[in-house]
Amino acid sequence: MIPSKQPQYPLSVASRAIGHLNEDRYALEHYTLSETDPKPSLLTMVTDGIGASRAGQVAAQLAVDAVTRLVGQSDASQPSGILQAAIIQASRLILQRSETRREWKGMGSTCLCAWLVGDRLYAASVGNARLYLMRGERLQQLNLPRLPEKNAPAPRKDADGLHGYLGAKTPLDVDLRLHPASGGRPSLRQQGMRLRPNDRLLLCTSGLGDGLLPGEIAETLAASPIEDAAEALVQRGLKMGLPGDLTAIVVGMPPATPPLQARRSRRRRSLWRAGLVALLVLLALLAWQGQPDTPDLLGPSSPTAIHTLTPLPTHTPSR
Encode pLDDT of 240-297 as tens digits: 999 889 999 999 999 887 655 555 666 777 777 877 777 777 777 777 776 655 555 4
Gap between the Cα atoms of 131 and 129, Å rounded? 7
Q: What are phi and psi of 170, to 5 degrees?
A: -80, 160
Model's pTM, two decimal places? 0.77
User: Total structural domains in the chain?
Assistant: 1
**Residue 73 domain flag:** yes
Strongest mean pLDDT among 15-19, 183-187, 236-240 = 236-240
Q: What is the pLDDT of residues 160-182, one digit of tens each?
A: 333 489 999 988 999 999 999 88
Task: Note whether residue 264 is domain-resident.
Answer: no
The pairing of strands 120-126 and 130-135 is unpaired
Q: Which CATH number covers residue 38? A: 3.60.40.10
Rounded mean pLDDT of the chain? 84
Q: What percent of the chain has pLDDT over 70?
A: 81
Please indicate, yes or no, if residue 105 is contained in any of the structural domains. yes
Question: For 216, phi and psi rounded to 5 degrees?
Answer: -70, -40
Give the E-state strand segments of 77-206 in sequence order.
108-117, 120-126, 130-135, 138-141, 193-194, 200-204
- Report residue 296 CA to chain centroid gap: 74
Residue 302, domain member (yes or no): no
Q: How confident is the model at residue 7 (pLDDT cuts 50, 70, 90)?
A: confident
Residue 272: inside a domain: no
Position 179 in a domain: yes
Reported confidence tier of residue 233, pLDDT bands at 50, 70, 90: very high
In a domain, 206, yes or no: yes
Q: Ranked by mean pLDDT, which of 33-42, 51-60, 107-116 comes out on top?
A: 107-116
Task: Select the more confidently predicted residue: 164 or 26.
Answer: 26
Range of the domain at 250: 2-257
Say if residue 170 is exposed, middle or buried (CB neighbours under 10 Å; 0-12, 13-18, 19+): exposed
Is 288 a member of any domain?
A: no
